[in-house]
Chain A
Amino acid sequence: METKTKVNNRITQLFQQKKAGVLNIYFTAGFPNLEDTAQIIKSLEVAGADMVEIGMPFSDPLADGPTIQQSNEAALRNGMNMKKLFEQLKDIRKEVKIPLLLMGYLNPVMQYGVEDFCKKANELGVDGIILPDLPIEEYIETYKGLFESYNLSNIFLVAPNTSAERLKKIDQNSSGFIYIVSTDSTTGNTKDITQAEGYFKKIQSSGLNNPTLIGFNINDHKSFNFACNYANGAIIGSAFIKALKEAKELKGSISNFVSSIKKS
């Protein structure tokens, strides 16, 4: 058995209080405009999001579909980079209380320096990291101690074809939550997640230690609610990026978007 992780941050605390209907929203830092980052996070908190994933744009986002690819490209064109992003997040904890995660790809983090990155994330009040192309074996061998020493939850993805054995390994080395990828797809696909019911039930009944959030292809109230039946909540990315793209005014559009997902 792996030793139990010692991470205690806003993510783990959130799940102690809230077991159902957790709404986690992803956006790409630097999109639609370079300086929108802090405003989007604040508006999401005010609107009622439980958690925010801040996307660190990358030139080659392999796991993402066209919507997030385009927001990444636009953000890079706008001049976003890691240093700039960290500068923008400098005072975020003066106002924002909900858990914050950084989501991106391994290469920019490697170039920044993984330890420096963890240190900086911790200083800024970031709680979790999602790097879909960081293999769990390398995480355990090289980075786990580091992430934990900076009180960061590293969030792993689980996909429909992930074996039971591997799911167990992921659970044992996770903290915060496990990211359940709804269907075999890149982000923002149109595959119907109701067809994944069997897979969701299997995960639900597998006795995981960690909470779960379902992501990929969740785009409205209906799919959010459906996902919430089988996990502690769900993650929305591409649909929110589309809303931002069409937004005339950020705060109001964000409020409307979150309400449309959570409406009871």
Chain B
Amino acid sequence: MKYTVNEKGFYGNFGGAYIPEMLYPNVEELKEKYLQIIQDRAFQDEFRSLLKDYVGRPTPLYHAKRLSEKFNTTIYLKREDLCHTGAHKINNTLGQILLAKRLGKKRIIAETGAGQHGVATATVCALMGYDCIVYMGEVDMERQKSNVERMKMLGAQVIPAKSGSRTLKDATNEAIRDWINNPVDTHYIIGSVVGPHPYPDMVARFQSVISDEVKKQLMEKTGKENPDYVIACVGGGSNAAGAFYHFLDNEKVKLIAVEAAGKGVDSGYSAATTYLGKPGIIHGSKTLLMQTEDGQVVEPHSISAGLDYPGIGPIHAHLFESGRAKFFSITDEEAFKAGVMLSRLEGIIPALESAHAIAVLENLNIKKSDVVVLNLSGRGDKDLMTYITKKDEFLKD
């Protein structure tokens, strides 16, 4: 079984490029050039050097002793929360801005949900002197005001997406429409392993630095390079794709993907795509999609804006369908409690997205001798308001 993309842009039954003709030349140009560009020596030197000195990589692989003790096993946290801008998102935006430069593009557009990808894009645009336009759902702009201010401070223009449900999926639609209207000079930096081929593969490659480092760091710390488990949360799935990437072909490594159950998978307020979705097409890619019987896209719900997406990257749809990764879903309440638990056990306040990955530890039958790597994709500063306002609801006891 092959888990990376094939020459036609598919992962098993999922992927492809379902795009209007107006975008075809752009996407085709990317498809033709992306591998050559990112495998180029000079590109890699520049990318690696900025990852090290600007992003702060390698991020630590931290043996979380008190957390390990609680679950009677050995748990390492991959500290993506310590990346510049507070999450793994910048690994991808940095790669894509260097690519955009080599493609001769003059203008950058992006979509954002919670604002993390928007901030990471605005950051690299400031770094490289690019004009940056970020589309963000009007509802999300209200929910994530501080990230809107951060993007503006970094020089980006934030445009409210006013169509549909005015959240992440609509911001993505607006970014794609902008690209249709500006196909020649603009590069679209997609924030996750979603969108038409080659985006899912390209973003996965930029994020694969996570598992590349994990292998080396684990070797140093334990004498073996493969853990028994790799755990990551999945919205679109970029941090999970990066954390799984170098372990995909080693079937002994159990891959655990954690989706947001929201208020419960059957509550009508959920973002558990593999549980609720059927094959469909969203944002140019065939994947599992939450939709009505009539094929209209359904608005998901999660306490964490980063997991609040009605689809899932096609690589994850394939990992799910093939059984290579095991998918779990965690409710808002479970994630919230896990976030508080990690704060008190390890002195690390996780992003609510990452808190979903922590919460799943309760559901796995991990052995004492196992080594678990959990990708801590982001820090919780951005979620402080939610941690404060939901405290009474979720921490009654």
Please list the residues of chain A having a beta carbon within 8 angstroms of any beta carbon in chain B.
58-60, 62-63, 65-66, 69-70, 73, 76, 81-83, 105-112, 132-135, 138, 156-159, 161-163, 166, 181, 184-186, 189
Contact = CB atoms under 8 A, between A and B. Distances in A.
Interface stretch (B50-58, B172-180, B386-394): B172-180
- Taking each of A81, A112, A133, A181, which has the highest tally of chain B beta carbons within 10 Å of its own beta carbon? A133
Contacts, number: 112
Contacts of A135: 16-19
Given A181-B21, A184-B182, 6 more contacts: A60-B164, A82-B295, A108-B295, A110-B295, A111-B280, A184-B180
Contact of B281 (A110, A112, A156): A110
Which A-B residue pairs are the 8 nearest by beta carbons?
A108-B295, A111-B295, A161-B25, A157-B21, A132-B20, A81-B294, A59-B296, A63-B20
Contacts of B24: 159, 161-162, 166
B173 to A, nearest CB: 6
A29 to B, nearest CB: 13
A62 B280 contact: no
B51 to A, nearest CB: 33
A108 B296 CA distance: 7
B296 A157 contact: no
Contacts of B289: 107
B6 interface: no
- Taking each of B26, B163, B184, which has the highest tally of chain A beta carbons within 10 Å of its own beta carbon? B163
Contacts of A181: 21-22
Contact of B173 (A60, A132, A156): A60
Interface string B20-45: 11101110000000000000000000
Nearest to B162: A66
A111 B292 CA distance: 9
Contact of B291 (A107, A112, A134, A159): A107
Interface in B56-100: none
A56 to B, nearest CB: 10
Contact of A109 (B25, B26, B177, B295): B295
B281 A106 contact: yes
B183 A60 contact: no
A111 B21 contact: no
Interface residues of B, number: 36
A185 B16 contact: no
A100 to B, nearest CB: 21
A66 B163 contact: yes
B139 to A, nearest CB: 15
B296 A162 contact: no
Contacts of B278: 111
A133 B181 CA distance: 16
11 contacts: A60-B282, A63-B180, A69-B164, A73-B164, A106-B281, A109-B295, A110-B280, A110-B281, A157-B20, A161-B26, A162-B25
B284 interface: yes
A107 B295 contact: yes
Interface in B202-217: none
A110 B182 CA distance: 29
B379 interface: no
B295 A138 contact: no
B21 A62 contact: no
B362 interface: no
B361 interface: no
A60 B295 contact: no
A59 B16 contact: no
A189 B181 contact: yes
A184 B21 contact: no
A155 to B, nearest CB: 11
B337 interface: no
A62 B177 contact: yes
Contact of A185 (B181, B184, B284): B181
Interface string B349-371: 00000000000000000000000
Contacts of A166: 24
A203 B17 CA distance: 25
Contacts of B180: 62-63, 184-186
Given A135-B18, A159-B24, A161-B183, A107 B280 contact: yes
A215 B111 CA distance: 28
Contacts of A105: 281
Contacts of B21: 132, 156-159, 162, 181
B20 A133 contact: yes
B20 A69 contact: no
A111 B293 contact: yes
Given A107-B291, A110-B295, A133 B18 contact: yes
A63 B177 CA distance: 7
B297 interface: yes
